[in-house]
A and B are shown apart, each in its own frame.
Chain A
Amino acid sequence: MIWITVTGLIWLACFGFYTVSEKQIIKTRTSRYALLSAFPVLVKLTSGIILCMVMWLLSAQFSKSISFVALWVLLSPVLFVFILKINHLGKKL
């Protein structure tokens, strides 16, 4: 259960950072997430807090040192799948 929650939260944080990223924010303004583009700093801050929450959740499972490492290690596969998804790899196949 904890892994599903952690993966979901990392995905959410990635999404937050992505919507207000330098390249994407213009498109976000015309999408249904337009509200997010009005508060880019707040969105980035919230995404950062979500990542901290992930670490806190992981520290319930492991020691503090392992949870810090685990956060960075788990970020890679989630980010990779996220990047494939937002770049519509599936649609081009």
Chain B
Amino acid sequence: MHKSVRQSMAWLHSWLGLSFGWLLFAIFLTGAVTYYRHEITMWMQPQFASMQVNQDTAVKTAYQYLQQHAADAQHWYIGVAHPAAPVNKIYWQTPDGHYEMRTLDASTGRELTLSATQGGDFFYNFHFQLYGLPYTIGRLMVTIAAFIMLITLISGIITHKKILTDFFTLRTFKGQRSYLDFHNVSSVIALPFFLTITFTGLAIFFYIILPSGMKKVYPEHPFQYFEDIQTVNGSAISTAPVKSNMLPVQHFTTTVQQHWGKTEFESITVKQPNTQLAQITFTELKDHSITRNQAQLTFNATTGKLLKNTRNDSAIATLNAGVYGLHMARFADPVLRLALFFSGLLGCAMIASGLLLWSLKRQMQKKSVRFHLGYYLVNRLNISIILGLPLAMLGYLYANRLINIPAGAPNYEIYSFFIIWIGSFMLACLMPQQHLWKTQLKVLMGAAFMLPLIDMYYLVSQHDIDSFKSYWPFLRIDLMLWLLALLAYFLHQNIHPIQQKAVRKIQTKLKTVQQGSSS
């Protein structure tokens, strides 16, 4: 039987969407949360919130630390403390090629022994390399998922024949029709965001799916590409590095401020420190375009001479930076970031409504009440992803407040995340169909409502807050949690559990069929 293009696309859309929907939901939700990863990290490390940042002091103390502890290193990197991340993060490459990393107090330059929490970085890493899997496998899976997402979006556009006519249509509380409308509306209104984020996500990992080009140009060190795409090699210097004293860092910060005015730094790097070849580069924190081209200034660190710009400004490098810039949106100010976060959540809503629609449609088409393993599994996986993942994320935050993890200890927060996620799936498997949604929604609502209260108690008891200003970094996350609790309440009260609805319709249908055959 020949199918039309639209029918074929609908088939492709629904089956690809189902196969990868759960993974894509997890990637979208953790990605949306990643827009606030620094804020989550601060929430999870309350001692950060009270730290005052003076970048001049932060730069000076980090520079001094590196001079004392890594004077003979090949390379220094200072992630300069700023209000969103008020500690200095430093890395250096030892003469034998290994990397060392430290977190320093920005005011005193003391090494900080922080708890083993990963904060918001856990969601960030999960988003693009799926925590727990080897990096290559995780990234490959995410890349394949992005590719599938792109196909699903395009096939969805072809399938949805009335994009403009039905642009504003959302028939609420009308069963299957409402799910389809909601799926369409959530997809169409943020379509530019979905296409951009999916394509850029795919393009970032181009070297995983199309490695041959990089291998051909860089047969021995493929990852040299990443160095070349960012910086232009100056004239090759053949002289061997000779020990030489570098100028004090204040000399450079003063010169940089003469060029840029009063500004904040994102990072400072020093190549071949304490030699006559030492180059120090300052990068500005604020990003003025989508191509991650924050202002940069490079000096010879021993003579203080301003060197020419080493940034690679070629078209392909700008395109590469644009791909990263658009995906990570580091240019976004708070309001824009909130809108991006909302668009990410809309992506989750689109995927969730698509998954639920698939499930509902199949149950409506089913003509018997016989157990069907496929439908059973889809229903259970739906709930353990759509509600189980947010529950697991809450569990991660709960663990932070309830368990103290010393540095170097196993990260029980991450264990809690996965235990709760698996628990949600097991609960869904054991629960009868009619109680599936309401039970987990109740747990989600209760957990999201209680956490801010526990947080407040914790902060007061630990003397981490003494004013509204010091409470605000925590309150903004707590307010989001209360919004999540409200959303769970809304779903619990106003949307009839989808499974119950489907069961009722099937029962009515079966009764009609039975009556028809008996008469």
Contact = CB atoms under 8 A, between A and B. Distances in A.
Interface of A: 3, 17-18, 21-24, 62-63, 65-66, 69-70, 72-77, 79-80, 82-84, 86-89, 92-93
5 contacts: A18-B168, A76-B342, A83-B168, A89-B170, A93-B494
A69 B290 contact: yes
A73 B170 contact: no
A93 B164 CA distance: 27
Contacts of B58: none
Contact of A76 (B172, B193, B288, B290): B193
Contacts of A79: 189
Given A66-B290, A72-B193, A76-B343, A22 B164 contact: yes
B291 A65 contact: yes
Nearest to A80: B189
- Which 7 A-B residue pairs are closest in the complex by CB-CB distance? A76-B190, A79-B189, A87-B170, A65-B290, A72-B192, A77-B342, A73-B339
Given A73-B193, A76-B193, A87 B167 contact: no
Interface residues of B, number: 32
B289 A65 contact: yes
Interface string B171-201: 1110000000000011001101100000000
Given A66-B289, A80-B186, 7 more contacts: A63-B289, A69-B290, A73-B339, A75-B189, A79-B189, A83-B170, A84-B170
Contacts of A80: 185-186, 189, 342, 346
The SS class assigned to the A binding surface is: helix
A26 B128 CA distance: 48
A87 B171 contact: yes
A93 B486 CA distance: 14
A57 to B, nearest CB: 13
Nearest to B170: A87
B289 A83 contact: no
Nearest to B334: A3
B437 interface: no
Interface string B335-358: 110011011001000000000000
B334 to A, nearest CB: 10
A50 B486 CA distance: 34
Given A18-B168, A23-B169, A74 B339 contact: yes
Nearest to B490: A93
A69 B289 CA distance: 10
Contacts, number: 77
Nearest to A86: B168
Nearest to A84: B170
Contacts of B189: 75-76, 79-80, 83
Contact of B165 (A22, A69, A73, A82): A22
Nearest to B335: A3
A23 B165 CA distance: 7
B414 interface: no
A71 B249 CA distance: 41
A93 B495 CA distance: 10
A92 B496 CA distance: 13
B331 interface: yes
Given A83-B168, A92-B172, A73 B290 contact: no
B326 interface: yes
Contacts of A87: 168-172
Nearest to B349: A80
Interface in B134-173: 164-173
A79 B336 CA distance: 15
Contacts of B332: 73
Most chain A CB inside 10 Å of its own CB: which residue of B186, B343, B494: B343
A22 B168 CA distance: 10
Interface in B443-501: 494
A69 B195 CA distance: 13
Contacts of A21: 164-165, 167-168
Contacts of B335: 3
Contacts of B291: 65
Contact of A92 (B173, B185, B336, B346): B173
B83 to A, nearest CB: 20
Contacts of A74: 336, 339
A62 B287 CA distance: 10
Contacts of A88: 172
A87 B177 CA distance: 14
A88 B170 CA distance: 9
Contacts of B343: 73, 76-77
A65 B173 CA distance: 40
Contact of B288 (A23, A63, A93): A63
Most chain B CB inside 10 Å of its own CB: which residue of A23, A62, A66, A72: A66
